Amino acid sequence: MKNVKAIIFDAYGTLFDVNSAAEKCKNKIGDKWEPFANYWRTIQLEYTWLRSLMKRHKDFWKITEDSLDKSMQVFKIDSSMKNELLDLYKVLSTFPEVNETLNKLKERNYKLSILSNGTPSLLNELVRSNNLENIFDDIFSVEEVKTYKPDPNVYNIPIKKYQFEKNDFAYLSANTWDVSAAGNYGFNAVWVNRNNNVFDNLDYVAKYQIKNLGELLDIIK
C-alpha cells in the first residue's frame, strides 16, 4: 500500500477490546461472561443500524446502555452490576499490540485518527485511559452527522477535514461490514481479522487482511 498520507482507525473492536468490560467482571458473572459480552455487542450494533434506518438517532452511550439493559435481562445478570459494567466500558482496554504499533506509526509521520460510532466524550476518555493522548491528530465521531456506520456520510467526515483524495487514506477495522463500507467508499480498507472470521458478502473484497495491528507496519509504505 503506497502513498498513504493518513490512517484512520475504527475504535470499538479494532483498537479497544469491547469484551474487556465483561471480562473484568467474570468472577461475578461466571462462565457466561463471554457469550454475554458478545451478545451485548451484537445488540449494540443492531440498535445503531435500526435507529439509522428509522431516523431515530440516539448517541452511542445511550445505545450502549439500552443494549446492556436487554443483555442483562437475557443472561439474567443482577441489575446491581449495571453501573460497574458501564463504568468499565468507558475505559476499555486496548488490544496488546495497539499502543506499540500506534507509536511506531506516529514516528513515521502519518496523520492518525479515529473514526467511530462513539461520542466525542467517550472516545476522548478511552484515549486518555490508555495513554494515547499524543497519538491522534483527530478523533472523529458520527455525532457530526447524526447517523451511524455504514452510512457513507460517516466516511466523508475525514475527507472534509483533510482535503485528501480517498486513495490517500488507509482505513482499519475489525468489523467486516465496516471494512466493506469504507472500501466501497473508496478508502484503502484493511481488515483486522484477529479471530479467523469469514468476510461478509457485501460487494467488496478486502484487499488487505492482517491478524493484528502490528502487521500493518509491513504492508504500509
Quick one: average pLDDT of 60-73? 98
Residue 105 sits in a domain of what CATH number? 3.40.50.1000
Kindly state whether residues 66 and 112 are assigned to the same domain: no
Residue 47 sits in a domain of what CATH number? 1.10.150.240
- pLDDT computed for residue 112 by the predictor: 98
- pLDDT computed for residue 120 by the predictor: 98
Query: pLDDT-based confidence at 188, cuts 50/70/90?
Result: very high
Residue 1 within a domain: no
Kindly state whether residues 147 and 211 are assigned to the same domain: yes
Kindly state whether residues 115 and 206 are assigned to the same domain: yes
Kindly state whether residues 105 and 202 are assigned to the same domain: yes
Kindly state whether residues 149 and 182 are assigned to the same domain: yes
Query: pLDDT-based confidence at 34, cuts 50/70/90?
Result: very high
Q: Is the pLDDT of residue 69 over 80?
A: yes
Kindly state whether residues 13 and 27 are assigned to the same domain: no
Kindly state whether residues 132 and 26 are assigned to the same domain: no
CA distance 194 to 53: 29
Q: Which one-letter DSSP state was computed for residue 58?
A: -
Q: Is the pLDDT of residue 16 over 90?
A: yes
Kindly state whether residues 145 and 198 are assigned to the same domain: yes
Q: What is the pTM of this model?
A: 0.96
- Give residue 205's domain range: 6-17+93-219
Residue 24 within a domain: yes
Quick one: average pLDDT of 190-219? 95
Q: Which of 89, 124, 142 is the last residue of a domain?
A: 89
- pLDDT computed for residue 221 by the predictor: 73
List active site positions: 10
pLDDT tens profile 46-60: 999 999 999 999 999
> How many domains, the chain?
2
Q: Is the pLDDT of residue 165 over 90?
A: yes
Residue 151 within a domain: yes
- pLDDT computed for residue 1 by the predictor: 87
Question: What interhelical angle do 60-74 and 120-129 show, nearest 10?
Answer: 80
pLDDT tens profile 85-115: 999 999 999 999 999 999 999 999 999 999 9
Kindly state whether residues 173 and 208 are assigned to the same domain: yes
- pLDDT computed for residue 157 by the predictor: 98
Buried b (16+ CB within 10 A) or exposed e, 7-20: bbbbbbbbbbbbbb
Q: Which of 51, 68, 89 is the last residue of a domain?
A: 89
Kindly state whether residues 211 and 133 are assigned to the same domain: yes
Q: Which of 89, 115, 142 is the last residue of a domain?
A: 89
Kindly state whether residues 137 and 166 are assigned to the same domain: yes
Report residue 78 as a C-alpha cell.
Answer: 443482577
Quick one: average pLDDT of 10-36? 97
Q: Residue 112 in 3-state DSSP?
A: strand
